[in-house]
Amino acid sequence: MDFMIAAIITIVGLTTPILLAGLGELVVEKSGVLNLGVEGLMLVGAISGFAVTVFTFNPWAGVVGAAVGGALASLIFAVLVLQLNSNQVATGLALTIFGTGLSSLIGVNFTGRIVAPFGSVFPDVLAKDPFWKLFFGYSPIVYFAILMVFVVGWFLKKTRAGLILRAVGENDLSAHSIGYSVIKVRYMAIAFGGAMAGIGGAYFSLVITPMWAEKMTAGRGWIALALVVFAGWRTGRLLAGAYFFGILMALELYAKAAGFSFLPSQFWAAMPYAMTVVALAIISSRGTAGASAPACLGKPFTPST
């Protein structure tokens, strides 16, 4: 029982960053833009969140710092693809390379430092209870991530602004011709995606470790990208998919304890990445993913004026 509770808590922790980054990227892609810079944005968020926490002794300020850092970095990408119509695939890759370098450069001064942890959200009676901590013992970012699943779902389906965002992603020329600013909508979507990836990154440096290490997101940004495809651009499936990947990632940590030591540890470490490929193959070959992808995804917006 204790083992199960510990395992579930681990899985929730591993799931949170990809859930946050995935939700952000889902909104970006719904607006018709493919941002492959998620991994770089997460790293920028991880270091900016950490740096702000070191200076302010306040992890909440750190989370805000991570969101701002991620959003600012994503604006470089936004200017290039929206204003200069640069190739989105290449520009996203450049953003990841840039974010990796920038975070290492800033991080040099923060290696080995430690930061103030988050306090519990709930009273200790619940948060520290051997059983109830399963529900109440997490970092505030975890609850924020789950809340955001519903917020993003509600925004996209029920609000006028969400409808406009989807229209821009499905048919930018029509949205433009009825008077919506395609560029403005996409700017906001990209900045939101950057902020969410930034918070996802900060989860590594403020909650999981909590300290700064180079390239500490270890490819999770790419898993978040795969997650969006896997989810067929739907928030509910994104949540389910994130937990699926979270379980795979937890396997590496628990394989030994559970008596799977007949396979090398590297096998389990490779598992989430290999399974992502398999999952993409299954989802993509059924054709459901392709059918639900936003029609303008990855294409530059070129009104003929």
Partner 1 sequence: MRYKLEKRREPSTTMLVVTPVASVIVTMLIGILAFDALGVDGWAAVRDIFLTPLLASHKWQDVAVKAAPLVIIALGLSLGNRAQVWNIGAEGQYIIGALCAAGVGLAFGQAGGFFVILLMIAAGVIGGALWALIPAVLRTRFSVNEVLSSLMLTYVSLQVLGYLVGGPWKDPNGRNFPATAPLPESQMLPSLEGSTMHLGIIVALILPFAFWLLMSRSTFGYQVRVVGSSPNAARHGGFDAKQTIWATMLIGGAMAGLAGSLELTGALHKIDLGFPSGYGFTAIIVAFLGRLNPFGCLLAGIVLAVTSVGGQLAKTTVHIPDSTAGIFQAMMLFLILASDILIRYRIAKRA
Residues that bind partner 1 (CB under 8 A): 36, 76, 79-80, 84-87, 89-91, 93-95, 97-98, 100-102, 104-105, 108, 214, 219, 222-223, 225-226, 229, 264, 266-267, 269-270, 273-274, 276-277, 280-282, 284-285, 287, 290
Nearest to 95 by CA among 65, 129, 71, 111: 71
| C-alpha span between 226 and 239 (Å, rounded) | 13
Give me the least distance between CB of 281 and partner 1, in Å please. 4
Shortest Å, Cβ 164 to partner 1: 26
Nearer to partner 1, 130 or 264 (CB): 264
CA-based nearest residue to 77, from 96, 102, 100: 96
Closer residue to partner 1 (CB): 23 or 142: 23
Closest CB to partner 1 among 139 and 217? 217
Q: Which two tokens stand for residue 244?
A: 């699926």
Minimum Å gap between C-beta 246 and partner 1 is 16
Give the end-to-end CA distance of the chain in Å, rounded to a whole number. Answer: 65
CB of 252 to partner 1, least distance (A): 10
Of 140 and 298, the one with the shorter C-beta distance to partner 1 is 298
Token pair 């008596």 in the structure block, residue:
259
Which residue lies nearer to partner 1 by CB, 85 or 177?
Answer: 85
Min CB(97)–partner 1 separation in Å: 4
Q: Taking a C-beta distance cutoff of 8 angstroms, is the pair 200, 18 a contact?
A: yes
CB closer to partner 1, 158 vs 266: 266
Backbone angles phi, psi at 16, to 5 degrees: -55, -50
Nearer to partner 1, 54 or 79 (CB): 79
Q: State the nearest-atom distance from the C-beta of 28 to partner 1, in Å.
A: 15
* Shortest distance (Å) from residue 43 CB to partner 1: 11
